[in-house]
Amino acid sequence: MNLEIAGNVQGFKQQDGILTIKTAEAEARVYIYSPTIIRVSISKNFNPDDPSFAVIRQPLADFDFDESSANIDITTPALKLSIQKSPLRFNFFTAAGNSLSEDDARFGTNWQGERVICYRRLFEGERFIGLGEKTGNLDRRSAAYVNWNTDAPNHTPESDPLYKTFPFFIGLHSGLTYGLFLDNTHKSYFDFGASTDEETSWFGADGGDLNYYFFGAQGVAKIIEDYTWLTGRMEMPPLWSLGYQQCRWSYMSADEVLNIAQTFRKKQIPADVVYCDIDYMDDFKIFTWNKKTFPKPKQMLDKLKAMDFKLVTIVDPGIKVEEGYKEYDEGIEQDYFAKYPDGENYTGYVWPGRCHFPDFFREEVREWWGAAFTALTQPGVEGFWNDMNEPAAWGQNIPWIVKFGDKFMPEVRNAYGMQMARATYDGTRKIMGNKRPFVLTRAAYSGTQRYSAVWTGDNTGTDAHMLLGQRLVNSLGITGMSFIGVDIGGFSGNPTPELMVRWNSLGVYTPMFRNHAIQGSKMREPWEWGKNNEQIIKKDIEQRYKLLPYLYSSFYQSTQTGLPVSRTLAIEHSFDGNVFDERFQNEFMFGDAILVTPVESTKLTEDVYLPQGSWYRLSSDKFYEGEQIVNVQAPLTDLPVFVKAGGIIPMQSVVQSTNEKGDGILRIHIWNGREANSFIYYEDDGVSYDYEQGVYYKRVISFNPIEKSLSLSLVEGSFKSRFMQLRFVLHGFDGVKLQEEIVENKNGEIEVKL
Ligand code: GLC
């Protein structure tokens, strides 16, 4: 095997916003997207189309640079890229000249066959966060990862790769932050000093270009904002999808589905969603219903609707090979399936047996797939669960010679699930008129947040998996994914009742709150755990519903800034070593104000770390100064959850579903603090896209500790709030009479003296 190096710069030119640099072996192109985003792409053989599944922005049309005998320097108001000519190296600095990230002076970028790798300098004390759905520690220093979307049943807290590819990480060193996104769908590699002498980190891919976006903003939140500006942000989800979701592989008949929904209502345990896993279909044929067990889908959906329940149905990519089955016949006729180079359709085995796989990389295939959802939307389904889209085939080894679009499987495998989710989202959005579809996908690539929520696949019912799940959620949040769930209780195995209760209490603070279990496991619904536990689970689910106004506003924040709903403490406290301590690394902020500390089900007290600021325990208002480790009670009835001093949390009364109005009072809770704080409250109809036309209700709630006041700004938008009245609930204001005054929710400015 030859080693080919990039070599020395032989010439360069700038045209159409691209600085092209030539060496004997390769070419590099540099683009500027914003003062904090620079793209570098190095190749021996550029694809003239320059495709990207992830990036939705265009580079600037022009930029300046300076040349000296040794370097070509590009300076933006925030960043300096110094390109060394001999040999070619790319080194990034802050505007003030501090080094952010550098090529390894010895190796830079080079090739072994088609595999391209960039070796970089590892800084002293440098930490790494990100890469999305990756096991291991929050700090990825000394670990190595592979991106290769994989159906990973029975994965362990160490397994790699899992289902998704997000080749984006953030580096932290010397009090500085930078981000790097390798936009390449081939099998890719990231090594954060796992097996070197602490001098080198490296990343690269099995083929394609060494095409990366460098983010130089200071502050992790700002880098996330830039990364999601580049790759897109999620839309407002349908409000119902933020309620409690009950799933199982499978509720086997319409009667069973209805019975589950009825039981929630009878027991007055709030819930919004029930699922149909693969058994609702006729012989696992996608877009069909089993005529015996689900004979009248519309009738079932009408009954669910009358109970304020939504149904989510699963769809897998594998189309059963069976003449007379509409999707098979159409796919064959129109030539819509992935193929071998000789034109033969690729066949793999999945649930239905022999299957062909739609080629979601082609627009006409995506349109065909999207339109087929009428079989589900006509009876009234509004949620679409995209599974097995790594893509999975039994044996997990689709031949590398299979073609998707004009590419072989290894070149685009990592984007297949994303393209399926895109087809599902585009198609259902079109056929559902003005209603928001809910799309959920297992496999994903950077940018998937534009189309779909994700969940973390087939976990196991153990404490270690509960904690791993939280780490995955927190890490996915760094890479633009905000709407994330884990199978609460664990997909495989049978959790103990204690674990089920504990996991459910953590689910309250998980962006997508879904209980799911494998075929053959014990039933998992809230009433399956004994009377006492049922009450605890019910109370926790009620807490989720109370928090919905806060949660919906937190999702709005994700749509605007890309900041995730569940945030590792490393986002705000990036240089606080305790945050990365293995004891505390699973802790996270849920929105701006709530800090959650996951605790194993076997522990009834726990050491938790409270970062800078001061804190109140949510359940008791007990006060703690920050920057200390405290040992707290953690009974199964009371997961340790804290509110930041100055925190503002709008809540509502307990409702049984998001469709219920409740008592019409918005309770604005505020915890006393030394610093001013504000919260952007957002509301809309929760169902339609009217908010895009200004039909929303948005106002800023501000707390001013000096003036001792709480104020609400003028309302922006034309939506009329569901809440007719406001109530202010004060916490930690010694000497102030607990004010529970009710105020009319008027659109003008409102000020309350505390
Ligand atoms: C896969 C999914 C799981 C689903 C099952 C049956 O294992 O990850 O969630 O229940 O397939 O469809």
What pLDDT, in 10s, does the model give residues 219-254?
Answer: 999 999 999 999 999 999 999 999 999 999 999 999
What pLDDT, in 10s, does the model give residues 546-600?
Answer: 999 999 999 999 999 999 999 999 999 999 999 999 999 999 999 999 999 999 9
Q: Name residues whose C-beta falls within 8 Å of residue 746's C-beta, 6 or more positions apart in sequence.
A: none
Residue 204 has pLDDT above 90, yes or no: yes
For residue 93, how many C-alpha atoms fall within 13 Å in the half-sphere facing its CB? Answer: 12
Nearest C-alpha to atom 4 of ligand 1 is from which residue?
249
Q: Which residues is 488 bridged to in the sheet?
A: 515
For residues 84 and 8, give the distance between their C-alpha atoms in angstroms, rounded to a whole number.
9
For residues 546 and 675, give the distance between their C-alpha atoms in angstroms, rounded to a whole number.
26
- Look over the chain and give the mean of its residue pLDDT values, rounded to a whole number: 97
Q: Which residues line ligand 1 (CB under 6 A)?
A: 153, 249, 277-278, 314, 387, 442, 457-458, 516
Ligand 1 pocket test, pick from 314, 316, 456 with the greatest ligand atom count within 8 Å of Cβ, gives 314
Helix (H, G, I), strand (E, B) or coil at 179: strand
Q: Which amino acid is at 473?
A: V
* DSSP symbols for 442-455: SSEETTGGGT-EEE
Residue 736 has pLDDT above 70, yes or no: no
How large is the average pLDDT for residues 488-492? Answer: 98
The answer to whether the beta carbons of residues 727 and 735 sit under 8 Å apart is no
How large is the average pLDDT for residues 420-444? Answer: 98
pLDDT for residue 743: 87
Distance from residue 315's CA to the centre of ligand 1 (Å):
10
Cα of 524 vs its chain's centroid, Å: 25
Tokens representing residue 403 in the block: 């073609």
Ligand 1 pocket test, pick from 249, 280, 394, 516 with the greatest ligand atom count within 8 Å of Cβ, gives 249
Tokens representing residue 501 in the block: 């209760």
What pLDDT, in 10s, does the model give residues 42-91?
Answer: 999 998 889 999 999 999 999 999 999 999 999 999 999 999 999 999 99
What pLDDT, in 10s, does the model give residues 501-523?
Answer: 999 999 999 999 999 999 999 99
E strand segments, 389-443: 403-404, 407-408, 438-441
Residue owning tokens 């009876």: 379
The answer to whether the beta carbons of residues 131 and 142 sit under 8 Å apart is no
For residues 402 and 357, give the distance between their C-alpha atoms in angstroms, rounded to a whole number.
11
What pLDDT, in 10s, does the model give residues 93-152?
Answer: 999 999 999 999 999 999 999 999 999 999 999 999 999 999 999 999 999 999 999 999
C-alpha gyration radius of the chain = 26
Cα of 123 vs its chain's centroid, Å: 29
Nearest atom in ligand 1 to the alpha carbon of residue 247 is 10
The answer to whether the beta carbons of residues 647 and 671 sit under 8 Å apart is yes
Residue owning tokens 């895109």: 422
Structure confidence at residue 742 as a pLDDT band (50, 70, 90):
confident
Residue 739 has pLDDT above 80, yes or no: no
Distance from residue 457's CA to the centre of ligand 1 (Å):
8
- Of the listed ranges 579-593, 653-667, 693-707, 737-751, the least confidently predicted one is 737-751
Distance from residue 22's CA to the centre of ligand 1 (Å):
49
Structure confidence at residue 267 as a pLDDT band (50, 70, 90):
very high
pLDDT for residue 48: 86
Active site residue ranges: 387, 390, 458
pLDDT for residue 737: 60
What percentage of the chain carries pLDDT values higher than 90? 97
Closest CA to 369 of 290, 451, 310, 445: 451
